[in-house]
Amino acid sequence: MNIKIAVLASGSGTNLQALIDAPDLGAEISLVVSDRPGIVALDRAHDAGIESAVVPYGEYGSRAEFCSALNEVADGAGVEALVLAGFMRVLDGGLVSAWKDRILNIHPSLLPAFPGADAVGQALEHGVKVTGVTVHFVDEKVDHGPIIAQQSVPVLPDDDRESLHARIQIEEHALYPRVVSAFARGRIVVDGRRVRWE
Ligand code: GRF
């Protein structure tokens, strides 16, 4: 039986769309959660007939209150995992420990290189020849938890932020559904910082 997941997004939601379109995800996207109204990811959820919820970050007095509201929404939907897809908020320790090894994130670099919001720009600025995509479990630190899968992407001489991010996103859209599908089938085992695929 498919597990139920929530996808959390803050923007255009192309990774959400890749998960929606995946032919054999093994997971039912029961809920899409956004931290602000009016984003394209919410339209994608609507078009796919998926329930959505907005938990507006600005309306909470603290990160802890925001995260506790997120927790309630996810619990209420009966989901077993939170899949972050371009979700631009840092989750607090309470939420992370309540969902230990059940929060996934996708990041546009080969972590631990270039954590944070501008991974693509930093890779260009640093002059690396290879960057990529990382899918990892979320822990208390930003872009830091155990790494589940990575895919490299070459940096081309004429790349700018847009062209490089576009090629990274092609890999993201292939990798995230594969990882979520393996996770949903119980094939991903965490052992400290190391993750095994079974
Ligand atoms: C992706 O590049 C992802 O790695 C990063 O934010 C971006 C979200 O893109 N965390 P989208 O909203 O899925 O199109």
In the chain, the amino acid numbered 176 is Y
Percent pLDDT > 90 in the chain is 99
Question: Of all protein residues, whose CA lies closest to atom 7 belonging to ligand 1?
Answer: 86
Distance between the two ends of the chain, CA-based, in angstroms?
A: 19
Sorted by where each begins, the domain ranges of the chain are 3-197
22-31: average pLDDT: 97
Q: What per-residue confidence (pLDDT) applies to 84? A: 98
181-198: average pLDDT: 98
Q: What per-residue confidence (pLDDT) applies to 173? A: 98
* CA 9–ligand 1 middle distance (angstroms): 8
Atom number, ligand 1, closest to the C-alpha of residue 169? 2
In the chain, the amino acid numbered 51 is E
> How does DSSP classify residue 135?
E
Q: Is 12 in the pocket of ligand 1 (CB under 6 A)?
A: yes
Strands (E), 85-193: 103-107, 130-137, 147-154, 188-191
Task: Give pTM, 2 decimals.
Answer: 0.98
CA 170 to chain centre: 15
The b/e string for 61-97 (b: 16+ C-beta within 10 A; e otherwise) is eebeebbebbbebbeeeebebbbbbbbebebbeebbe
Q: pLDDT digits over 108-125, tens only?
A: 999 999 999 999 999 999
Q: Is 15 in the pocket of ligand 1 (CB under 6 A)?
A: yes
CA nearest neighbour of 74 among 19, 127, 5: 5
The class that CATH gives domain 3-197 is alpha beta
110 to 142, 168, 172, 186, 190: CA distances (angstroms): 14, 11, 12, 24, 19
Q: Is 107 in the pocket of ligand 1 (CB under 6 A)?
A: yes
Q: Is 153 in the pocket of ligand 1 (CB under 6 A)?
A: no
CA nearest neighbour of 190 among 148, 157, 153: 148
Kind and range of the H or E run holding 83: strand 81-84
47-67: average pLDDT: 97
Q: Is 108 in the pocket of ligand 1 (CB under 6 A)?
A: yes
Tokens 């909470």, residue?
60
Residue 1 has pLDDT above 90, yes or no: no
Q: What per-residue confidence (pLDDT) applies to 135? A: 99
Atom number, ligand 1, closest to the C-alpha of residue 11? 12
* CA 68–ligand 1 middle distance (angstroms): 24
Percent pLDDT > 70 in the chain is 100
* CA 108–ligand 1 middle distance (angstroms): 7
User: Which residues does the annotation mark as catalytic?
Assistant: 107
Q: Token pair for residue 20?
A: 């929606």
Question: Of all protein residues, whose CA lies closest to atom 14 belonging to ligand 1?
Answer: 14
Q: What angle do CA 53, 118, 30 make, to 5 degrees?
A: 20
Across all residues in the chain, what is the average pLDDT?
98
Atom number, ligand 1, closest to the C-alpha of residue 120? 2
Confidence at 163, pLDDT banded by 50, 70, 90: very high
